[in-house]
A and B are shown apart, each in its own frame.
Chain A
Amino acid sequence: MRIKRWRAVCWSLTFVGLLLLVTVFLSALLRPVRTNYGAVWKAYLAEPRDSLDYLWMGSSYAYCDVNPALVYDQSGLTGYVVAGPELTLSQSYWYLREALKTQSPSAVYLEVTALQFQTYQGYTQINVGYLPAGYNKLGAIFTASEPELREGLLCDLIFYHDRWKELTWEEAMEALSPPETDPGKGYTCVEGSDGTRGDSPYFRTAVDREVYGENLVWLDRMARLCREKDISFTAVLHPTWSRITEEKREEMAADLAELSIPFLDWTEAEGEMGLQPDRHYYDAGHFNRDGAAVFSRWLGEFLTRTEELTPRPQTGENRNSWEAAAAFWRS
């Protein structure tokens, strides 16, 4: 009798497992395939384990401005942009935890405009939804996502099930294909200019003190996590025309110093990097392809000379892959 009951329990669990598999399969099939604008986790996980020298994190300022393939071309350093559109610092924390599961970089750089982001910025469905399933995604869902989005983030089908009408065979194949490395290495290229930059820099509205305080707490958690793993952690502000006011930047510098987080404020450093606003900005916030190339080459020099990062040994296959990526962006 007892054996019969256990057998029934085992069959039930097997069935529930199968049902979960079907759900996961359908979710993977129906969720839109995205390979840019931050939704690059699949390609990130295809990178050989422990092969990256640095991670560059943040929002669109990170993934539009830094082209790791050109940093490599300049310096031999391998890196990846682990970012998302308007990625909040609470989401960045979970991104960092997830990223460090497969990589052990020497340095992590975080573009910290997000210190002036609201608690939720409106891209949670993309930023958290595309995180690989697991503890970190759960953490992001319950601590860094709007409560009304949580059900959909737990089960992608809630957001995407009605895409069955628009799903093409090609997209289905792409969605189900195994992960492959991507020459973008987390970088998203925007060409030319959208004409919205304006004639002079503009200044972002600062967030409430309370929200800023919460953001600092998440930033501190990231710094602590890096310290635990013996990884250097640095906060940076990229050159931009959508700037945080000088007063707020000074406040940020003081707060970061108190948390023992090194801070590189490049907001007004475009001239010394060789960046020309008319040629190198796509809009007020982001570099275009040429701007990202200039910035990334400058960054390659900076990382090796000033930050003294040294390229780690790579397998022949991975070196070839990086050379191919560099060649792709050089052309």
Chain B
Amino acid sequence: MAFFCFFPVVMAGWILLPARPARLWLLGASWLFALWSGPEALLSLLCATVVTYGGALALERVNRGKKALLTLLLLCLFGALFLFKYLGFACTLLTGLGWPVQAPALFLPAGISFYLFMAAGYLVDVYRGKHRAARSFVDTALFLAFFPQLLSGPIGRAKELMPQLRTGRAPSWDGLRLGAFRFLWGAFKKLVIADRLGLLVSTVYADPAAFGRLQVIAAACAFSIQIYCDFSAYSDMALGCARMLGVELMENFKTPYFSRSIAEFWRRWHISLSSWFRDYLYIPLGGSRKGVIRKYRNVLIVFAVSGLWHGAALTFLVWGLLNGLYQVAGDLAARHRASLRRALRLGEDSPLTAGFQMLWTFLLSTAAWVFFKAESLGKAAAIFAAMVRGPWLTHPVTAWGLDRPELVVAGLALLLFFFVEVRTLRRPVGAGLLDAPRPLRWAAALLLAAAVLVFGIYGTGYDAQDFIYFKF
């Protein structure tokens, strides 16, 4: 609720103040937003800002030792990330290998994985001469701290974001309406779908052996939808808020579960991170230019790093590597699959082929998400075991964490979600709504708001900060 007081005040200042004070106002608000998550979040953000600002200027000015300077700056940024996020994991690994090390108790500053990647991307762009170093500290600070994207992305690029934040343009009327609707749609996905499915997933995953195979498989599929709705909901809200402020952020999802291969899935899922890895890791490693073996090695490296970016645990590493292996295997089997399609007389783009490919991609990603959700590799193994052993159904449906009315609501919400996803293939969320007559538009928005208010999972004991990707 505090956010609903904070945001209109920030927006009013951003719109009403002259350009220069407005930027300071937005920066102050963004830092306050960071402070909300704890003093360590603000402190870490300020340090990253100082290093990035000074580093970019230095990179532009020095002629010799540029590469060494960039390496030093990246070591600073990723060193901080390692310290806060991976030191504990490294100590656990070392302890497991027989060298007991006690990890210091450090808070993980909120949003650190996101803004440090933005900072690193910006420094590399300056190094490559693709972007000029910002002369103004406020430019750099606002780029890294802009509050809608601070905690969970999208991982913005300086080229797109800095000019928008520098000019401080007022939002358009259409932008305001679309932004508000996008925010509302995000709230629906998060509170009505993701958190509702989360109850089912948590119940089944807590003791998978106690449930039938079909129930465990259904819970795994439910988690695929839960994590998509959860993360894309945050992106929708971030994009919506930014749009209401007149800033366009990068789209982070493009209906990923309609992908026909894992490679395509990763071009449509968490796009800002995938494209970051492509531009700043995969291509510098040689990409696909240096032979097939190097290409596959690079793919596996990128996915392993991507897995670790999501969390400091072996489960995330396995999840990343599994996605990389899917891609390698998909590439290796491409010719055989084409032969099989020809043998079955299926067109490459026939609805049956596309449908099967989408289903297969969904199942593959669902299997990988099991590692993502499980607390340990042993737990993941237990979940897979419960999918193939024991009875097909054990408990009545009402013992799933969702009773019958909740399941009906979840089903109806998923139908609406599917309908919107199909429409989104052609136009962004809410874009078609502006062409509709006002009564229809208002009715749609009010019904959606009412659905969130009544069917949303929130209230006493609910943690509004509990987005899955906030942990990263």
Q: Interface of A with B (CB < 8 Å)?
A: 8, 11-12, 15, 18-19, 22-23, 26, 30, 151-152, 154-155, 157-159, 161-162, 164-165
Q: Is B284 an interface residue (CB 8 A)?
A: no
Task: From B176, B405, B454, B458, name the one whose CB has the most chain A CB atoms within 10 angstroms.
Answer: B454
Partner of A161 from B1, B173, B406, B453 at Cβ < 8 Å: B453
- Interface of B: prevailing SS: helix
Cβ contact within 8 Å between A19 and B1: no
Cβ contact within 8 Å between B454 and A26: yes
Q: Is B46 an interface residue (CB 8 A)?
A: no
Cβ contact within 8 Å between B446 and A30: no
Q: Is B63 an interface residue (CB 8 A)?
A: no
The residue in chain B whose Cβ has the minimal distance to the Cβ of A15 is B442
Cβ contact within 8 Å between B449 and A22: yes
Cβ contact within 8 Å between B459 and A159: yes
Q: Is B456 an interface residue (CB 8 A)?
A: yes
- For B453-472 the 0/1 string (1 means CB < 8 A from A) is 11111111000000000000
Cβ contact within 8 Å between A161 and B454: yes
Cβ contact within 8 Å between A159 and B453: no
Q: Is B206 an interface residue (CB 8 A)?
A: no
Given contact pairs A22-B450, A159-B459, A161-B454, a sample of 9 additional A-B residue pairs in the complex whose CB atoms are under 8 Å apart: A15-B445, A19-B446, A22-B453, A151-B1, A152-B460, A154-B1, A164-B454, A164-B455, A165-B405
Residues of chain A contacted by B460 (CB below 8 angstroms)? 152, 158-159
Q: Complex formed: what's the CA distance from A2 to B406 in Å?
A: 48
Cβ contact within 8 Å between A26 and B453: yes
Partner of B446 from A11, A12, A18, A158 at Cβ < 8 Å: A18
Cβ contact within 8 Å between A19 and B449: yes
Q: Complex formed: what's the CA distance from A162 to B459 in Å?
A: 9
**Nearest CB in chain A: distance from B174 CB, A:** 10
**Nearest CB in chain A: distance from B454 CB, A:** 5
Partner of A152 from B176, B406, B455, B459 at Cβ < 8 Å: B459
Cβ contact within 8 Å between B459 and A8: no
The residue in chain B whose Cβ has the minimal distance to the Cβ of A165 is B405
The residue in chain A whose Cβ has the minimal distance to the Cβ of B405 is A165
Cβ contact within 8 Å between B449 and A30: no
Residues of chain A contacted by B1 (CB below 8 angstroms)? 151, 154-155
Q: Complex formed: what's the CA distance from A155 to B5 in Å?
A: 14
Cβ contact within 8 Å between A161 and B458: yes
- For B161-202 the 0/1 string (1 means CB < 8 A from A) is 000000000000100100000000000000000000000000
Q: Given the known A-B contacts A15-B442, A18-B442, are A158 and B449 also in contact in the complex, defined by CB atoms under 8 Å?
A: no
The residue in chain B whose Cβ has the minimal distance to the Cβ of A162 is B459
**Nearest CB in chain B: distance from A15 CB, A:** 6
Q: Given the known A-B contacts A19-B449, A151-B1, are A157 and B454 also in contact in the complex, defined by CB atoms under 8 Å?
A: yes
Residues of chain B contacted by A23 (CB below 8 angstroms)? 453
The residue in chain B whose Cβ has the minimal distance to the Cβ of A12 is B176
**Nearest CB in chain A: distance from B439 CB, A:** 11
- For B435-454 the 0/1 string (1 means CB < 8 A from A) is 00010001001100110011
Q: Complex formed: what's the CA distance from A162 to B1 in Å?
A: 18
Task: From A12, A26, A152, A162, name the one whose CB has the most chain B CB atoms within 10 angstroms.
Answer: A162
